[in-house]
Structure 1
């Protein structure tokens, strides 16, 4: 945890969480986010230097990208740099930036293109 008053920049919205949201959203727009990750592994609880097969619900590309962005913002909240509301605003702002960028870029494509489609952080389907 950082000392009170550090860092000395505004907290709202979380800039690093915006970058994480932009990165995750762009990747979800360009790749099949429903793709199930084959043969995932996890650290062995009895020996963390070994990997063992993951036992749990299927892991998808979209789900893992969402976890990446959300964990990034949550970590900065836990460190005392930001509030939860800073991260929530950052996810919305990062996603909105990507939507705007993709709408603009779609108009410049010379080849036939059906558009982009992905699931937003709030679970709604976004089609551009």
Structure 2
């Protein structure tokens, strides 16, 4: 069992989870819920995530870059417009770390997701 390296967030910070693989989305939701975060989503479709971001302003987001073959670029642009930090959780090697839209203000977590690394990244993104 992973060690809890970050304190429970005060007030239950909200985390938008954008992940198109249902099992990974459920795992992320459970991890975050156990640590006291409020989960928005999870959502696995680009358009659904954008609709959610019309009415919600998460404290931080975790997103996969490839959603059923679509790049999450519009979500990244919306998060940046909201000044919302985000963490990229992706196994997609076809998208390089050097692409500015993804690299600016984003930390990368490789899949399979290590819970300790994810929690540390969340703590850095939204202390």
- Tell me, yes or no, whether TM beats 0.5: no
Larger Rg: 1
Higher percent of residues as strand: 2
Question: Normalising by the residue count of structure 1, what TM-score does the alignment of the two structures yield?
Answer: 0.26
Is the helix fraction higher in 1 or 2?
Answer: 1
Which one scores higher on RCO, CA 8 angstroms, separation ≥ 6? 1
